[in-house]
Amino acid sequence: MRGDEAVARDVTQETLLRVVRHIRRFEREEDFWSWLTCLVRSAAADHGRKVSRYRRLLERFTIDPGSHSQPGPDTEFDVSRALQQGLAQLEAGDRQLLLRKYTEGASVRDLAKAMELSETAVESRLARARRDLRAIVSHFLKS
């Protein structure tokens, strides 16, 4: 976790949740430790992917496609505020769908099962919700 205590705590908590969800008996202690190590590695990788997705989302809203500049701290704050306001302006169903997908990390398959829709229908709804959110955030950032 490169010395980041908060990230280490988050990954540890996620690992413990996975242990509780998938606990089972092991014949040998070495098997248990191998299993636990695998859970920790996958929790850390999932956390890294989540952070990476968030960064890419920020970059999509803050960097002009023709520009090679990187967003600064003030820009990230504006984007974060714009995202919050944009989410608040979306329809409740679209907001919930985006939050489940991008903050909770739900898969399209899980969302489709919960909503009793096809995966294609969920992907279409996600695309529409992202488009609507992008328009609201872009309008806010241009103001």
Domain range annotation of the chain: 1-69, 72-143
pLDDT of residue 116: 94
Confirm if 73 and 107 have CB atoms less than 8 A apart: no
Tell me the two tokens of residue 105: 């990390």
pLDDT in tens, 66-115: 444 444 444 455 677 888 888 889 999 999 998 888 888 888 898 999 99
Topology of domain 72-143, per CATH? Arc Repressor Mutant, subunit A (1.10.10)
Tell me the two tokens of residue 48: 């890294």
**Which amino acid makes up residue 86?**
G
